[in-house]
């Protein structure tokens, strides 16, 4: 079995800003979404649904505040082109 070194050959990024990722080996880079903006968006969607329950649910993308918590599991690729045979 051959192992790939994270951040040297592949990048691994989590999503949700879990602080436990800081204790993995290597520490996991993550995208943290601001809980306040997520909660505001969810509340807005719920209120719209309460006001008009017959209206179909909209699955539009929301613009939420987020930050990248850069730890050690992501880096620039070593090569810029992937060759597939």
Please tell me the pTM assigned to this model: 0.60
Which string of b and e fits 25-48 if b means at least 16 CB within 10 Å? ebebbbebbeeeeeeeeeeeeeee
- Whether 44 is in a domain gets the answer yes
- Whether 15 is in a domain gets the answer no
Identify the domain containing residue 45 by its residue range.
Answer: 34-53+60-75
Q: Do strands 13-15 and 66-69 pair parallel, antiparallel, or not at all (unpaired)?
A: unpaired
Give the contacts of 67 (CB within 8 A, at least 6 positions apart). 31, 32, 34
Q: Quick one: pLDDT band at residue 50, thresholds 50, 70, 90?
A: very high
- Whether 41 is in a domain gets the answer yes
Q: How many CB atoms lie within 10 A of CB 12?
A: 16
- What pLDDT does 7 receive? 64
Q: Quick one: pLDDT band at residue 73, thresholds 50, 70, 90?
A: confident
Number of domains observed in the structure of the chain: 1
């Amino acid at each position: 079995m051959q192992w790939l070194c994270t951040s040297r050959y592949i990048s691994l990024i989590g999503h949700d800003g879990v602080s436990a990722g800081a204790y993995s080996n290597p520490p996991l880079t993550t995208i943290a979404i601001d809980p306040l903006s997520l909660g505001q968006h969810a509340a807005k969607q719920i209120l719209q649904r309460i006001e008009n329950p017959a209206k179909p649910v909209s699955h539009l993308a929301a613009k939420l505040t987020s930050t990248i918590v850069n730890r050690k599991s992501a880096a620039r690729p070593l090569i810029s082109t992937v060759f597939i045979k």
